[in-house]
Amino acid sequence: MHKTYIKIWGARGALATPGRGTVGVGGNTSCLEVRCGRDLVILDAGTGIEPLGQHLERQGQPIRATILFSHFHLDHTVGLPFFRPLRNKKNHIVLAGPKLTMGSFRQAITFPFRPPSFPVTLATFPARMQYRTISLRPFQIGRIRVVPFLLHHPGGSFGYRLNFPHGRSIVYATDNEPKSAAHARKLTRWMAGADLLIHDGQYTPKEYASRKGWGHSPYPFPIETAAAAGVPRVLLCHHSPSHNDRAMKKFLREAQRYIRWHDLKVRCELAVEGQSIRI
């Protein structure tokens, strides 16, 4: 059986929040490492991809990885040029993501990294880079079958279900907001029977009341969706930059109380930087 796990390198949303007040949950923006044997998938390239790159370099082997982008907002892409494996010509990095805007995926992902916004372009890095545009059709990354889904977020965002060869699966759905009953039903069918849901849970219900249309979820939405889909475990991610560790503990207590009050058959946790989960 192939060793399969995920590791969280960044779970913060919107803005990186380093400092004493966030050291528990972490301050880096979205980045997850997914391993299935030799297959390496990196979900998003927020600031968390920089320490991931250091970790990969220390292994001393050529790196072959696919970086799978949910969308192009800066908190999910800003770490890309700081990913150290791009500096080694022995490495092969596939950049993959949706075509959500005018122009190609390659144009969208490279646009921020050029003068005057950034001193160099991605083309200057010596690693072998390939660009792959993702549609809503399922596809393979090595032994991992990936099933995309269009989420509800300004400008669009893709969620990904990763099905592993030993029969288990995870769903990554950051930057998603409640939309309609029809969309919720489709979302539930897409994630049905998965083992783990990693989902945007940026707001309390009270906070969400004044932030509708911003593209993020209050915690009841991923909890209820997971329960309806038969997903036993939820990691709430894309934490608000205004929530320090103390606020996050209160946030989690509220979410767990919500589960008890509604007698939902799901386990809820916070995505925490440095956390590894065996799948």
We report the CATH number of the domain holding residue 127 as: 3.60.15.10
Task: Name the residue range of residue 8's domain.
Answer: 4-278
> Cis ω on the peptide bond leading into residue 116 (within 30° of 0)?
yes
Q: Which of 2-6, 76-80, 98-102, 207-211 has the lowest mean pLDDT?
A: 98-102
CB 30 within 8 A of CB 13: yes
Rounded to whole angstroms, the Cα distance separating 44 from 78 reads: 10
CA atoms within 13 A on the CB side of 69: 30
* For residues 3-15, average pLDDT: 97
Q: List CB contacts of 96: < 8 A, sequence separation 6 or more.
A: 66, 67, 68, 69, 105, 131, 132, 133, 134
- Residue 1's pLDDT is what? 44
CB 76 within 8 A of CB 30: yes
* For residues 130-148, average pLDDT: 97
Identity of the amino acid at 162: L
Rounded to whole angstroms, the Cα distance separating 193 from 60 reads: 37
Q: What is the mean pLDDT of the chain?
A: 96
Q: What proportion of the chain, given as a percentage, has pLDDT over 70?
A: 99
Strands 157-163 and 144-151 come out as antiparallel
Q: What is the pLDDT of residues 165-194, one digit of tens each?
A: 999 999 999 999 999 999 999 999 999 999
CB 65 within 8 A of CB 94: yes
Q: How far is CA 235 from CA 8, 128, 194, 195, 219, in A?
A: 11, 34, 13, 11, 10
Q: Residue 82: what are its φ and ψ, rounded to 5°?
A: -100, 10
Q: What is the pLDDT of residues 198-255, one digit of tens each?
A: 999 999 999 999 999 999 999 999 999 999 999 999 999 999 999 999 999 999 999 9
* Domain count of the fold of the chain: 1
Tell me how many degrees the CA angle 1-36-105 measures, rounded to the nearest 5: 155
Higher pLDDT, 1 or 222: 222
217: closest CA among 229, 227, 205? 205
Using the 8-state DSSP alphabet, how is residue 196 labeled?
E
Q: Residue 121: what are its φ and ψ, rounded to 5°?
A: -100, 165
Q: What is the pLDDT of residues 31-81, one digit of tens each?
A: 999 999 999 999 999 999 999 999 999 999 999 999 999 999 999 999 999
Q: What is the pLDDT of residues 162-173, one digit of tens each?
A: 999 999 999 999
